[in-house]
Structure 1
């Protein structure tokens, strides 16, 4: 069976505490010796820690996800706000360094601090793939003073698993298909495996599946009946099988358009929350239109402040006709908010347009005479924003105290540029 499976030399490179390492480079500090934390916003006591250096984690038990108010007052600790434009420049520079070893099409940038590289066929140039992987790792450290971890495998999935489950502690790990039963199947809880979230873990636990090995030996028909195509993917991923190629998502068929936003203060009323929701819908709809896509399923997530008694909600609604119209998406989000908002202070929002189809599948509606005009108006607004900037044309609500679009103009990736 294995002869028919992908068997390439794929590595997954993760830059250790990337943001902290970049800040250390700017400030002339040693990221491996100085306790450093990168904070999203100094003005918010509840602001999240975006990155922490190894000494910060070891000495003070502060890691990514902690809050500013949890950091102890200590003279050795150095705190910094993010410089997202510099972080992105560094990410691009690292990609260019890797291009000295492989062509651009052999690199798949997964995030600002993580990428996949296909080393297949480079043996005649650089030697064994393991040697080349470690040479790239050393080059990144020598040029940028950024430590990294590398997982290696015959496909993207196994490379990622080797990274997450072994290389992040050892620096380098190579897995093969033969390693899956001994190194992956014992993993529990299930959410420790890449691609399985907490909610999916609960669903699988309800089926009596508690380890990756249990998932690998579950009944495939039962998984597909319960989770559809995702059940099929989970089953084969538990065996280390992945046919993804560079330039497409690791989990096929999961294209969607989403946006998440941490609010800089508590939003206590539906009216205030709807202002931000409208701004977010505008962005999501524009991205879908630019890709000539439309979606049927609209999801709204809301997390309450830590002061609230409730945990929040994430709900979805599927509409009959695919859409990329801002106000249509907004109307669904408004309906979901009215149904599930409990009136407690909100601190985080997320919206997603999924169940994606080609824009050509949007049907004419004889009972909606303004649909074509709205579509043309939306495309005109998109063109203006593309040419003159995202805030060159805003809805009036963005100029109210609840609006965030103007304030977020100077942010990159949600953080200070």
Structure 2
């Protein structure tokens, strides 16, 4: 009979804010600090608020203007490169105890671990091992962690997200029986992993407000409402999860894509928006070359100004080539932009995706392509990557990057759309 698995989910409390406090030799648990870019408007979203501010009821992802004006706090500009370095240091702590094959990095501040085969070796319970790892993280970096322990991945996550918040040691523990006993009637449903506001709102319209009610609901009705996703919802209502760490490690996506998105710092007119999309296509082409990949399909999503009520523009185009050529891809991207975007609606958001990304050995030309010319462009792109790698991303730019409204030089100094801090 297979051994029951034990999973641990560790989260770094208010990670970005905690790092900023540690860097200032301040206690993250008592210091009022928010991570937000002071150069942006008061509508900008805080990337994190410190635990002491969360204890006052201030949401972790609030906007600056939502923070009470009578509250004294430090505003720390984002330093994404610093947070990545802290995260890497903490991952190294995890590796002292658990092999990388048994760790799944869920985000920069959260991991899942399958600790099943380590408990006998360490002669510890899952809780004792978790405490040891969390204390090592604290001693090494000054960052406080919280933890969920469960008999499957879902229960470990729920133990972290819900149970751990209500116990003094920040460690929640759940199995299927205790989950149904303690959380079946928990509200709101949106507190549960993978139950967003859209799902919870649809359930509430049917008079379903708890996991117990989902478990007891007519399954046919749930499948009619949610399709195949109902299976996961029903399993989670009972505290079940069939996916294992081995499944996660073995998973390979059937299709691959790369994408770039940005929210602009003001509304852009039609031509400025086109420039932004061209810049995004150019950078994604360099990413293709850098990774030895090619694409044959492009998807563009344009969100309009918040000042107007207008459905976003969305479209996909298939190219007659499979390539990483910026010249060819930008041409297709511009035609797609011109086809789907309203000339008279201000642009505020843009996301560009290259679909069906495959190895460059699958590169294909059409009758109108000169292979020698494409090879010359490819070598120029490789040279640009070499220069950027040695001297920085802004060491070599194109003319369009210097036009009014261009964002490439600014974005090259960012990580994930936020200041790198270097």
Fold agreement, TM-score > 0.5: yes
TM-score normalized with structure 1 length: 0.79
Partner residue in 2 for 1:24: 21
| Superposition RMSD in Å | 4.1
Asked if structure 1 preserves the Cα contact closer than 8 Å seen for 2:289 and 2:381, the reply is no
Of 54, 59, 73 in structure 1, the residue corresponding to residue 51 of structure 2 is 54
> Corresponding residue for 1:83?
79
The equivalent position to 1:111 in structure 2, one of 88, 107, 114, is 107
Q: After superposition, give the CA deviation of every residue in 1:21-56 in whole Å (9 maximum; x if it has no partner).
A: 111112222222222111124343332211111332
Q: CA, structure 1 residues 289+106, in 2 after alignment: closer, same or farther (shift >3 Å)?
A: farther
Taking structure 1 as reference, are residues 406 and 208 closer, same or farther at Cα in structure 2, changes over 3 Å only?
same
Deviates more, 1:269-278 or 1:190-199: 190-199
Using structure 2 for the length normalisation, give the TM-score. 0.78
The answer to whether residue 143 in structure 2 is matched with residue 146 in structure 1 is yes
Instruction: After TM superposition, give the deviation of residue 406 of structure 1 in Å.
Output: 1.1
Aligned equivalent of 1:257? 258
- Select 1:121's aligned residue among 100, 113, 117: 117
Alignment of 1:15-414 (within 5 A): 15-59=12-56, 61-74=57-70, 76-123=72-119, 124-125=121-122, 127-170=124-167, 171-178=170-177, 192-195=191-194, 197=196, 214=214, 218-219=219-220, 239-245=240-246, 248=249, 255-263=256-264, 265-294=265-294, 298-306=298-306, 308-310=307-309, 313=312, 315-317=314-316, 319=318, 323=322, 325=324, 326=326, 327-328=328-329, 331-332=332-333, 335=336, 338-341=339-342, 343-354=344-355, 356-357=357-358, 364-370=364-370, 373-374=373-374, 377-378=377-378, 380-382=380-382, 384-386=384-386, 387-388=389-390, 389-414=392-417
Aligned residues: 408
CA offset at residue 167 of structure 1? 2.6
Q: Deviations over 1:292-316 (max 9, x none)?
A: 555566443344444x122652634
- CA–CA separation in structure 2 for the residues paired with 1:140 and 1:377: 48
Distance across 2 between alignment mates of 1:45 and 1:94: 32
1:218 Cα deviation from its structure 2 partner: 3.6
- Indicate conservation of the 8 Å contact 2:286/2:381, yes or no: no
Superposed displacement of residue 181, structure 1: 5.3
Q: Which has the larger radius of gyration?
A: 2
Paired position in structure 2 for 1:415: 418
Structure 1: gaps of 5 or more residues: none
Contact kept, 8 Å, 2:300 with 2:314, in 1: the verdict is: yes
**Structure 2 Cα separation of the partners of residues 19 and 384 of structure 1:** 33
Counterpart secondary structure, 2:47: strand
CA displacement 1:98-143 (0-9 Å, x = unmatched): 2222234433322221122232322222512221012212222343
Aligned CA distance change for structure 1 residues 311 and 323 (closer, same or farther; 3 Å): farther
